[in-house]
Amino acid sequence: MSAFAGKKILVTGGSGFLGGPLIRTLVERGARPEDVSAPEHSRYDLRLPAACAEVVAGQDLVLHLAGNAGGIGWNRAHPGALFYDNAAMGIHLMEASRKAGVKKFVQIGTVCAYPFRPPRIPFREDDLWTGYPERTNAPYGMAKKMMLVMGQAYRQEYDFNAIYLLPVNLYGPRDHFFEPKKSHVIPALIQKFVEGRESGAPEITVWGSGYFEGTPVSREFLYVDDAAEAIALAAERYDESAPVNIGAGREVPINDLIAMVCEMTGYRGKVVRDLSKPDGQPRRCLDTSRAKEKLGFVARTPFEEGLRKTIAWYEQARHER
C-alpha cells in the first residue's frame, strides 16, 4: 500500500512552479486527489498564525514549499521582506502543525543557506554552519536555515517529525518567466535570448563576468520534476533530523549555460557582459550521496534535455498569454 493512501496532505505553494509537479507526483504515488489540498495565497496569508491554524487542521502530512523567492536582483531589492516573509511563514506553519497533531512536516530549504565559502566542493550537509551565506541572498538563506533549527528543536522537545530538504537551483516549465523582477538565471536568459531573436537585437546583455577570482562561476541545476520526485520520496521514506541535499550532481559553468541557451534558442547576435552586476555565489554544487542512501533518489533528467524542454514550454506559453 502507498505511504500516501488515505492521508490528508497539505502542500503550501501548491499552485506554483514546484507545487504543481509535486501534487501530480503525490497522486501518481497513491495519494487521492481529493485528499491533497493547496491553500490559495489570495485567501490564506501564511505569515499569520490564524491562517496557518486553519489550513493545517485535519492534515496528516504538511509539505511546506511556499515562499517569497527570486533571483539576485530580487534578493538585493527586498532583503527585509524575504527574511520576514519566509521566517514568519515557516515558524507559524510548523507551530500550527505541531499543535494540530500533524504526523509529519516536510520543510523545503534552499542551497542559499550554505556559506559563501564552504570548506569543499561539492557542499556536504555538515558544511551548513561553517560560515555566513553569500551576502546578496543571505536574508533569504538565513530565514530558511532557521527552519532547520526549529525542526530539530521541535523534534527534541516535542517528538515532532520535521524533516529538512536542501534543493539546489531548480528550473523547468512554469518558472518565473513572466515576472522578470523575480527571475532566476535560466528563465531570465531564455526570455532574453528568445526576445532578442524575435526582435533581431544585435546584442544581448547578461549580468556579471562569469568569473570569481579567476575561477568560472558555476551552478548546479535540478529539473523541477526530479525535485518533486525527491520530495515525495523523502515524505515517504525519511524520518531523521539531519538535512538532506537534493541535487543533480552536475556543476554547470554560467558561461557554458549562456552558450547553451544562446544556441538552443537560435539567437545569433552578440553577448555583452554587464560587469557592474554581481555574479552571486562563486560555485554551487551539492554532494547528493545522502539523498541516494536515505531516499533512493538519483536525478533522472539530463541537463540539456531539461533545458530544451524548458525552452520549448516558454516558446509555447508566451504565445498563449
The answer to whether residue 190 is domain-embedded is no
The answer to whether residue 151 is domain-embedded is yes
Residues 26 and 81: their CA atoms lie apart, in Å, by: 31
Q: How many CB atoms lie within 10 A of CB 312?
A: 12
Number of structural domains found in the chain: 1
Each residue's pLDDT tens digit, 231-252: 999 999 999 999 999 999 999 9
Each residue's pLDDT tens digit, 265-294: 999 999 999 999 988 889 999 999 999 999
pLDDT value of residue 316 = 95
Average pLDDT estimate for 65-84: 94
Domain that holds residue 104: 9-174+221-251+284-301
Report, in angstroms and rounded to the nearest whole number, the Rg of the chain calculated over CA atoms.
19
Residues 283 and 295: their CA atoms lie apart, in Å, by: 25
User: Under DSSP, is residue 168 helix (H, G, I), strand (E, B) or coil?
Assistant: coil
The answer to whether residue 314 is domain-embedded is no
pTM beyond 0.85: yes
The answer to whether residue 202 is domain-embedded is no
The answer to whether residue 24 is domain-embedded is yes
Answer left, alpha or beta for residue 266, where phi above 0 means left and psi between -120 and 50 means alpha: left
Tell me how long the chain is: 321
Each residue's pLDDT tens digit, 124-151: 999 999 999 999 999 999 999 999 999 9
Residues 316 and 321: their CA atoms lie apart, in Å, by: 9
The answer to whether residue 76 is domain-embedded is yes
The CATH number that applies at residue 55 is: 3.40.50.720
Backbone CA torsion sign across 220, 132, 188, 211: negative
The answer to whether residue 315 is domain-embedded is no
Each residue's pLDDT tens digit, 159-169: 999 999 999 99
Q: How do strand 218-223 and strand 251-253 relate by DSSP bridges? A: antiparallel
Task: Report the percent of the chain where pLDDT is more than 70.
Answer: 100
The answer to whether residue 55 is domain-embedded is yes
Give catalytic residues, as residue numbers: 140
* Chain mean pLDDT for the chain: 96
The H or E element that residue 87 is part of is helix 79-100
